[in-house]
Structure 1
Amino acid sequence: MSEQFPMFKLGTLIARQISSPIATRIKEYAKNHPVFSQNVCGRLAWYYRYGEIHCRMMALRLAGNSNFASRHQIVVPRVSPAEAHDLGADLLGELIVFMLGATILIFEYNRQANIKAKKTRARKEKWRALKNTLEELKIEAQRQNKQLESAKERLHILRNQNEK
């Protein structure tokens, strides 16, 4: 049970706890840095808003394959720059936390899969070794049976010679 449990679990816990402050710092940087705020956060907020509006219209059956979509252009209302920067920074922070969590999950899954594969390989090697040992014992038993048969034949020949 104690196989790497404390170190790896402690590492993942620390990574999860650190991801939130890192995301907060990146959000602050995004809000305060004008070029990053405008180019990354503003666009991220616009794409998010566009997806949100499009999904709402699809849910209301106002977009998609319906006749409404072919007759009307979906217009996304503009968001104020300050609101867009805040929304983009929040989305960026959440994206970072999510990506870190997903990365930890993938590493944990791969680690568990590797452990399982090692156990399977060890079990197969053990069976292979037992099979090889059994084959060697069969060969040895056959060799000894042949020696025993030849010894019996010699004994039989010697008895026949002594009787004459």
Structure 2
Amino acid sequence: MPFPIIKLVTLIAKQLSKPLTNAVKHRAKTSPAFRKICSAPANVYHRWDIQMRTKLLGFKSGPLKKDIQPMNSERAVELGAELIGEFTVYSVAVLLLYAEYYYSSKSNERKESDKKLEFENISNEVLHLSLNVATLEAELREAQRTLGELSSQNHALMEKVYGS
């Protein structure tokens, strides 16, 4: 699939999934159970982020997981809702790309099947025509043999009649 189409599909996926993302964010801010669901991935992301930053800054060993303070509740819910929203956007994009791949592969299979069927039909036609040619060649040889016999009979009759 060409590059601009990929960008277009991604843009469409983002636009289609924005209402779902906004609903997730709104639900995360209002529902206590959903707040817990959103804060868990945010804290995991936060720990991973802190560990990666310390390693990138050149420290040999990053802080232990137990030493990293969890994010405050509001920020964790906001980041978790954002992560879940982005995951939703990319999930929709992946599903759209997979659907496009699936349909294009089915289309290619159908085209290949059509080409194969056309090739078989042409092969059968060529075989049929070659059998016809062989039959016509045999009939031509028979006609030439008959013509040769008639010509020699005609020549023999001409000698009898005109006596040369």
Task: Assess same fold via TM > 0.5.
Answer: yes
Whole-Å Cα distance in 2 between the matches of residues 119 and 34 of structure 1?
54
Q: CA deviation at 1:72?
A: 6.3
Aligned-residue sequence identity (percent) comes to 25
Whole-Å Cα distance in 1 between the matches of residues 151 and 104 of structure 2?
69
TM-score by length of 1: 0.74
Which residue pairs with 1:49 in the alignment?
Answer: 46
Q: CA deviation at 1:108?
A: 1.5
Look up the equivalent residue of 2:34 and give its one-letter code. Answer: F
Q: CA deviation at 1:73?
A: 3.2
Unaligned runs of 5+ in 2: 1-7, 158-164
2:71 is the counterpart of 1:73: no
Mapping 1:1-164, distance limit 5 Å: 13=12, 16-38=14-36, 40-62=37-59, 68-69=60-61, 73-74=64-65, 75-162=67-154, 163=156
Q: Once superposed, what is the RMSD of the aligned Cα atoms?
A: 2.6
CA separation of 1:16/1:94 partners in 2, compared to 1, >3 Å: closer, same or farther?
closer
SS at structure 2 position matched to 1:78: coil
Whole-Å Cα distance in 2 between the matches of residues 16 and 77 of structure 1?
33
Unaligned runs of 5+ in 1: 1-8, 63-67
Q: How many residues align?
A: 146
Whole-Å Cα distance in 1 between the matches of residues 75 and 148 of structure 2?
107
C-alpha offsets along residues 46-72 of structure 1, whole Å, 9 cap, x if unaligned?
Answer: 11112212222332343xxxxx33x96
2:35–2:77: 8 Å Cα contact kept in structure 1? Answer: yes
